[in-house]
Amino acid sequence: MKELGHNLAFALHSDPLLEFVTYLCCFLALSILSFIFIIIYKHYKRQSQLRHQALLYKHIQFLLEHPLSDQPAVQRLYQLNKLIQKKPLQTLTAWMDVMQDADVVTQEKYAAVLRKLDYQTMIQRGLASRHIALQCLAMQMIRLCHLKQFDDYLLVKLASVELAPYAIAALAKIQGIAALKLILNAYEKDLLSNSQLLTAIAELPRAEVLAATSKRQHAKIHGLITRYLGAAV
């Protein structure tokens, strides 16, 4: 038996094809196990996010239904602040999921609740994240909740092709017509597509936009905006 084992070991090392097949089988087995682990991890992470979102939604709905000066509401505000401090990025993602599932009127109600909280750390962590998606979520939150104190952060994001459209949309919502120059400059630098330009322009007063683009003699932009707004040149 010992001799047989020795012969098999010798055959494995002496046959390159057999050795290759053995290594390939090991590699495939490890790949399958890794793939299964990734699926389980992503499923667990998604379920955790859904639970976090459900908890957040429960807190928000409670606050919408009770005066914020009442003791139970004060306690809920405290719990939400603890949630933001403990899991700022997860809370940012969950809050945006809740916001995006709501209509415009309800979004404003959710935004009013957010403005009662210590949300600064959550937004700043999102803006400073290495992940583009989280930075975009933070800028969407700034836009939807009309958070005016992050303009300097947004201006920095204008240097990035991936982030500029989100920064411009937020600045247009917050600054109004004062953001028009930034919008036009971003478009001229090819940081915005036509649709992204028009989305930002839609946040601004129509007459002032037409007048400003006409004076600056941006023929292409003026024509595009005019067609979009349905106005005469």
Same structural domain, 152 and 129: no
CA-only gyration radius of the chain, Å: 27
Same structural domain, 116 and 28: yes
Give dist(CA 176, CA 22) in Å, integer: 66
Same structural domain, 72 and 171: no
Give dist(CA 148, CA 119) in Å, integer: 13
Q: Which tokens go with 191?
A: 């940081």
What pLDDT digit, counting tens, does each position of 33-54 carry?
888 878 877 776 677 667 878 8
Question: What's the rounded mean pLDDT across residues 179-184?
Answer: 91
Same structural domain, 22 and 101: yes
Same structural domain, 100 and 197: no
Same structural domain, 63 and 94: yes
What is the total count of domains within the chain?
Answer: 2
Q: How confident is the model at residue 4 (pLDDT cuts 50, 70, 90)?
A: very low
What pLDDT digit, counting tens, does each position of 208-232 carry?
888 877 765 566 777 777 777 664 3
Same structural domain, 136 and 186: no
Question: What's the rounded mean pLDDT across residues 72-80?
Answer: 90
Cβ-in-10-Å burial (0-12, 13-18, 19+) of 129 comes to: middle
Give dist(CA 72, CA 62) in Å, integer: 9
Same structural domain, 130 and 156: no
- What local confidence, expressed as pLDDT, does residue 141 receive? 95
Task: Evaluate if residue 189 carries a pLDDT over 80.
Answer: yes
Same structural domain, 133 and 174: no
Domain end, chosen from 130, 146, 162, is at 146
Burial 58-72 (b: 16+ CB within 10 A, else e): ebbebbeeeeeeeee
Which position has the token pair 């945006």?
A: 96
Q: Among the listed ranges 20-29, 76-85, 132-141, which one has the minimum average pLDDT value?
A: 20-29
Same structural domain, 138 and 205: no
Task: Evaluate if residue 188 carries a pLDDT over 80.
Answer: yes
Q: 97 with 127: CB under 8 angstroms?
A: no
pTM for the whole structure: 0.76
Domain region containing 156? 147-233
Same structural domain, 18 and 123: yes
Residues 6 or more apart from 77 whose CB is under 8 A from it? 63, 68, 116, 117
Rounded to a whole number of angstroms, the distance between the first and last alpha carbons of the chain is 95
Same structural domain, 79 and 151: no
CA angle 169-171-175, nearest 5°? 130
Residue 183: CB atoms within 10 A of its CB come to: 27
3 state SS of 45: helix
What pLDDT digit, counting tens, does each position of 85-113 carry?
999 999 999 999 998 888 999 999 999 99
